[in-house]
Amino acid sequence: MTARDSFEEFDALLSVSNCDRWADGQGLEDAQELLGKFTSAQWSRLEHEWRTRDKKWRLCLESALCPLQSAAEGRLLLEMAYDVDPDVRYSALHTISFYCGVNSSGTYFF
């Protein structure tokens, strides 16, 4: 699988997914696995293109991000906290607050 193929597969998954159902095994693991395979070029592409996608796609992206997996995921979550849509902003801020150490051992990502 080429780098372009991985990004295209991820983009297609988010385009057809309903992230409200991901907790039931409807794509979250697949999205996270694809993110884990991203090259630096793919992360750069994602960082430039995510804002052009619709709200549903951006919410699915946000739910797939885990800043403990990579610094790129943490940076993207921080960018998403400034999204034009309040639902995307809220979701990103909620995730950030979770990983900032709320109810944690005091080890913080951000």
Q: What is the pLDDT of residues 9-22, one digit of tens each?
A: 999 999 987 777 77
Q: Output the pLDDT for position 5.
A: 82
**pTM assigned to the model:** 0.84
Question: What's residue 9's pLDDT?
Answer: 93
The most distant pair of C-alpha atoms in the chain lies apart, rounded to whole Å, by 40
pLDDT at 99: 80
- pLDDT tens for residues 24-73? 666 888 899 999 999 999 999 999 999 999 999 999 999 999 888 888 99
C-alpha distances in Å from residue 32, one per residue of 14, 82, 85, 104, 107: 11, 22, 23, 22, 22
Give the pLDDT confidence score for residue 16 in this predicted structure. 86
